[in-house]
Structure 1
Amino acid sequence: MSNRNVTRRKLIALAGAAGAAGLAGCSSGGTNGGTDGGESGGGSGTGTDSGGDSGSDGGGSASTATLWAWNDPGLSPIRDEQASELAQQSDAISDVSWEYYPFENYLAKATTAIPAGNAPDSLALSVLWVPRFADKGVALNLEEHGFDPDDYVSAARSNASYDDTLWAVPWYADCRLVAINTKMFEEAGLEVPDPTYRPSWEEFGSWVDTLAKEHGTGYSMSAGEGFDCFALSNGSGYLNEDGTEAIINNDAALEAANFLQPKVVEEESIIARNPGGTAAIEDLLAGESAMCFAGSWHYPRLRDSGLDWQYMPYPGGPQIEKSHTWSAGVFYSIPKRGGANQDIGLEWLNYINSMEVQKNVTKSMGGFPGRKDAYETDAFQSFIENNPKLKPVAQEMENTISFPSHPEVTKMWNTVHTQAQSMWQGEEPEKALDKAAKEINALL
C-alpha cells in the first residue's frame, strides 16, 4: 500500500467500517484489563449528581487543570509533555495536574468522584465508556460547544459518539496487530514475513508450533482481546449489524475458539494473559515470546526497545478475506457535573483537537489521528514515509471495526473476556460462548 493511501476518498473507510456498532486501548493502554470495577455502584452514580453542572469557576486568574487518565508507561510521558505545552500557551491555565489510575479501577474511580463533586476538568475515556457516560447524562455535549463530528474519521467518530451525538474528542485511533521478534523468527529457521502479509490460521499455527519448539512460547496474547481479534478476523463480533442480537457464539467465533484452545491449554505454545497480570507486550520485550498481541499504541516502546521487531496483520480466518480488529484509541471527555471546570476542560479538548497535536500523534505514540484533515498534512505523510514499520498500521486501520454503541458495551466486553478466560482454563468453547451470548442478549 502506498504511503499516500490516506486520501479524501478513503477517509470514510479509514479506521474501519462501523461494523457491529473496542481495549478497550485503546480500550486499555498498558494493561489488557477491562473489568467493571465499581460498576455496581456506578450505575446510579453517574446518572445523578447533587452538585449539578459546574461550568466555569468564574475566576479571572489562571487555574490548575485537573486531568485524569489510566496508567500507561508509553502514554504517560507524552501526556505530561502535552500538559506542559498547554500550560505554557494558555492564559487560563497556569498548571496541569495529571491523576493516573489503573485501567481496571478507572471507571469505578470516575463513577465515585463525579457524584461526590470531585470530578476532573477532563478525563480520558475508553471507547467502552463513552456510551455509558453519554447515556447517563454525565458527559458534556461537545457539538453544543463547536466540535463537529464530521471532522473525524469514521470509526473514531463512531466510538466518540452515542445516539448520533459527539461526546468525546479522539486524541488518536488505533488498531491491534501482531508484533514479532524477527531475530527469534530467524533463530527458529523461519522466514520473516513481509510486514503487510496476512497469514492464514494454518500458517500462523505452524509458526507458533515452530517458535514454541525453539523458544518455549510461540505467541503471547491478552486472554480476552486476543480471542476478539481471531473472532473478528473470522467474521464474528459481539452483535449483529443492527445491534439486536449477540453473535459471539456463531460458527465463526466457535471456530476461532477451537483453533486457539488446544494451543493454550494442551500444547501451551500460546500464553493467554489475564487482566491485571503481565501484558503480552511485556513477554515480547523480555524475550519470553517471539510474537505477541500488540496495539499500534505500543509503537514508542517497540521503537525504543532495541529489539529487531516488526508489526504484521492478524491472521485471517477461513470465513473472510481480511483481518479485522477493534478500532479504539483514547477519547477525552468533559464531565457535565461533579465540580468540573468546563471552560478549562474545553481548552484542553481544543488543544487535543488542534492540528498541531493531531498531525503529530503518530510520531508521538503510534496511533493515527482522529481528525480527517490531519492525514493530508506534510508532517503526517512524511512521518509515515520515513517510518516503514508503521506501514502495517496504515493498512490495517482501514479494516478495523468500531465497538457497539451501547451503554452496556463494557459489560459485553467483560462477559466475553470472562468466558474467554474460562476457555483457556479448559471450559468447552461452545458452552462458554453460549453463556456470553446469553448474557449479552439480556443487556439488549
Structure 2
Amino acid sequence: MTGAAGAASLAGCSGSGNGNGNGNGSGNGGGNGDSSAMLWAWNDPGLSPIREEQAKNLAQKSDKISDITWEYYPFENYLAKATTAIPAGNAPDSLALSVLWVPRFADKGVALNLEENGFNSDDYVSAARSNASYNGTLWAVPWYADCRLVAINKKMFKDAGLEVPDPTHRPSWEEFGSWVDELAKAHGTAYSMSAGEGFDCFVLSNGSGYLNEDGTKATINNDAALEAANFLQSKIVDDESIIARNPGGTMAIEDLLAGESAMCFAGSWHYPRLRDSGLDWQYIPYPSGPKVDKSHTWSAGVFYSIPSRGGANQDIGLEWLNYVNSMEVQKTVTKSMGGFPGRKDAYETDTFKQFIKDNPKLKPVAQEMENTVSFPSHPEVSKMWDSVHTEAQAMWQGKDPKQALDKAAQDINALL
C-alpha cells in the first residue's frame, strides 16, 4: 500500500505490534460525561501505554466524555482502514496521522479545519506547523515533533583508536567517512542506517531534497543528491562498511544495541531505549555534505486529526485535540517518549528545561531540532517517499545512482 512500508520508520512508530487488522480496543472509563470516545492509532508498543494513560486522564477530567476506547491497527493497513472507514460512516472521533498523510486528508476534504475550531498554527514550532498544515491551513495537532541523528557506541569508538566527538559536533562527510573506515577495520561494520530514510538525511544534509522551493519540480536527481548517493554506495556496496536496512526487517537501532555496528541512524524517539540499554552511547548530528554547513534531516512526529465526516463526533474529537495541545501534555512529552513538544511555548516551561538539564544526552537533539526540514506539502508525498526509497534500495544493490535518481525524479514529476 502506498506509503506504508517506507513510512513505518517515521516518528519511531514502526508498527511493530502484533495487530491482526481487526483493531485492538482498549477502554478507559471514569469520566463524568455521557459520551464514549473512539480514537485510532497504529500499533506501537512504545506509544500505546502512554496513549492509554492519556485517555484515562482525559476521561477522568472531562465533563463530556464518559470513557475512551483506542482501536489499534497494523501500520501497513492503517491508511487503507482509515480511508475506507470514513466514507462508510465508521470514522473514529479522532485519529493519529503520519506526517505523510496530513496533506492527503486535507486535500480530500476529510479532515476538520482546526483553525475554524480555535487552534492557531502560530503556536507550533516551524517544522511541526508546516507538517500539520496544507495550503496554509492547520489540519492536525502535533503531539510531538522529532528529528534524526546518529547514535554512536562510545566504547567501540575508543576501541578503534578514535576520539569520541563532542555530542554537538557536526562532522563533515570526509570526517564521517574516516570514522567509517577505521570502525570497519576494528569491528567489521561501522554504520547501520535505514535504506531509504538514511539516504534522505544525506541528501538533505547536502542541500538537496525531493522538490525545489516552490514545489514545481523534482530535485532528487540534482548534483547534491547524486553526490550523496555516490558517497553512500561506495561504502555500502563496495566496502560493505555501512549496512542499509530495508523496511520490515532488522532496524538500524537493533544493530547498535546488539553491538553489530558502532554507529546507527537513530531518532530522538529512540532516547528512552538507548538510555535504558546499558551502552556507553551518545547522539551526534548527522554529517553535513560539501554543499552546506548544517545537518538537515526530516522532522516528523505524530499528528492528531478529526474526520470532517463519516460519523465522527467532532465535539469529542476537539476535546481530545485540546487535551493533546494542553501544556500538561506538551511540557512532558520529551520525558514520556523522547519526542520534542509541538508547541513553542512548552520549550519555555520549567518542566521541559529541567528535563533537558537532567538529561544532557538530549543536547544534540535540542540543537538539531532547529535544523529539521518539513516534508513536501503535497497530497501525494507518500508516493514520492516510496519512489525515492525504492530507488535507494536498488542503489544499495548496485543500480547506477544516476539512473536510480532520474527514475525517482521522473516519478515525482509525474505526480506534480
Instruction: Give the TM-score normalised by structure 2.
Output: 0.91
Kindly report structure 1 stretches of 4+ aligned residues shifted beyond 4 Å.
Answer: 23-26
Q: Provide Cα deviations, 1:36-72, integer angstroms capped at 9, x if missing partner.
A: xxxxxxxxxxxxxxxxxxxxxxxx9533322222222
For the Cα contact (< 8 Å) 2:15–2:43, is it kept in 1?
no
Report the CA distance between 1:99 and its aligned residue. 2.2
Which residue is equivalent to 1:138? 110
Matching of residue 27 in structure 1 with residue 16 in structure 2:
no
Which residue is equivalent to 2:233? 261
Counterpart-to-counterpart distance in 2, 1:227 and 1:397: 19
Which residue is equivalent to 1:301? 273
For the Cα contact (< 8 Å) 1:125–1:332, is it kept in 2?
yes
Which residue is equivalent to 2:352? 380
What SS is found at the alignment partner of 1:426?
A: coil
Percent identity of the aligned residues?
83
Counterpart-to-counterpart distance in 1, 2:257 and 2:38: 33
Change in 2 beyond 3 A, CA 1:110/1:350: same
Counterpart-to-counterpart distance in 2, 1:63 and 1:76: 22
Counterpart-to-counterpart distance in 2, 1:284 and 1:415: 28
The residue identity in structure 2 corresponding to 1:31 is S
Q: How does 1:283-362 map to 2 (within 5 A)?
A: 283-362=255-334
More displaced, 252-261 or 328-337? Answer: 328-337
Which residue is equivalent to 1:70? 42
Change in 2 beyond 3 A, CA 1:118/1:145: same
Q: How does 1:383-394 map to 2 (within 5 A)?
A: 383-394=355-366
Higher relative contact order (CA closer than 8 Å, sequence separation 6+): 1
Which residue is equivalent to 1:41? none
Q: Provide Cα deviations, 1:126-172, integer angstroms capped at 9, x if missing partner.
A: 11100000000010111111111111111111110001111000111
Matching of residue 252 in structure 1 with residue 224 in structure 2:
yes
Which residue is equivalent to 2:67? 95
Q: Provide Cα deviations, 1:372-413, integer angstroms capped at 9, x if missing partner.
A: 111111111111112111100111011111111111111111
What SS is found at the alignment partner of 1:123?
A: strand
For the Cα contact (< 8 Å) 2:204–2:297, is it kept in 1?
yes
User: RMSD value over aligned CA atoms?
Assistant: 1.7
Which residue is equivalent to 2:339? 367
The residue identity in structure 1 corresponding to 2:374 is S
More displaced, 215-224 or 107-116? Answer: 107-116
The residue identity in structure 1 corresponding to 2:351 is A
2:191 corresponds, among 219, 222, 225, to 219
What SS is found at the alignment partner of 1:402?
A: coil
For the Cα contact (< 8 Å) 1:26–1:127, is it kept in 2?
no
For the Cα contact (< 8 Å) 2:37–2:93, is it kept in 1?
yes
The residue identity in structure 2 corresponding to 1:27 is L
What SS is found at the alignment partner of 1:226?
A: helix
Which residue is equivalent to 1:124? 96
The residue identity in structure 1 corresponding to 2:12 is G
More displaced, 80-89 or 354-363? Answer: 80-89
What SS is found at the alignment partner of 2:41?
A: strand
Structure 2 unaligned spans of 5+: 1-5, 17-31
1:107 corresponds, among 69, 79, 87, to 79
Instruction: Give the TM-score normalised by structure 1.
Output: 0.86
For the Cα contact (< 8 Å) 2:102–2:131, is it kept in 1?
yes
Counterpart-to-counterpart distance in 2, 1:173 and 1:113: 27
For the Cα contact (< 8 Å) 2:11–2:267, is it kept in 1?
no
Change in 2 beyond 3 A, CA 1:207/1:236: same
For the Cα contact (< 8 Å) 1:181–1:290, is it kept in 2?
yes
Counterpart-to-counterpart distance in 2, 1:276 and 1:241: 32
Q: How does 1:187-266 map to 2 (within 5 A)?
A: 187-266=159-238
Counterpart-to-counterpart distance in 2, 1:274 and 1:25: 11
Report the CA distance between 1:117 and its aligned residue. 2.1
For the Cα contact (< 8 Å) 1:179–1:291, is it kept in 2?
yes
Counterpart-to-counterpart distance in 1, 2:39 and 2:352: 27
For the Cα contact (< 8 Å) 1:27–1:128, is it kept in 2?
no
Change in 2 beyond 3 A, CA 1:276/1:426: same
Matching of residue 272 in structure 1 with residue 244 in structure 2:
yes
Structure 1 unaligned spans of 5+: 1-22, 34-59
Counterpart-to-counterpart distance in 2, 1:30 and 1:174: 12
